[in-house]
Structure 1
Amino acid sequence: MKQKNRLIPKYYPQCLNYVYHVLNFGLATVRLLLVFYMKRTENTPTRIPLSIISMIYAPHHSSQPLRFSQVL
């Protein structure tokens, strides 16, 4: 049991790193979809508010992390 407890902290940061990369990939795909949507609807007035776009394009090292409710 002691050995099992010792292994948990060793692999925990790897899991967090993996989750972080998956979230980053998700944000990148959302950005790409937004860009394609904006290019498709260039002639019509934009329905997406600029605040959402600015929140998505905000740097990752900002003080507040992006919540999913803010992204969607």
Structure 2
Amino acid sequence: MNKTKMKKKKKLQEAKEVSKNIKESKSQLDLCQEKLETFLMEIPNILSSDVPLGESEEDNLLVYRKRGYS
């Protein structure tokens, strides 16, 4: 083989390796994203400092009432 064909073959092999690495990295990324989403769903929302504290539902402060609802 001449040098040009050898270089071409080497570049094709490198491209295949890069493609394989990208696929593996994508799989790992998908798994990490799934784990992150699961973890984030377990974290509760942080209440605003102006939210009043209460013992039960009766202690809730009505902020807005839509017409037609009681």
TM-score (norm 2): 0.50
More helix per residue: 1
> Larger Cα Rg: Structure 1 or Structure 2?
2
Higher RCO structure, 1 or 2 (CA under 8 Å, sep 6+): 1
TM-score (norm 1): 0.48
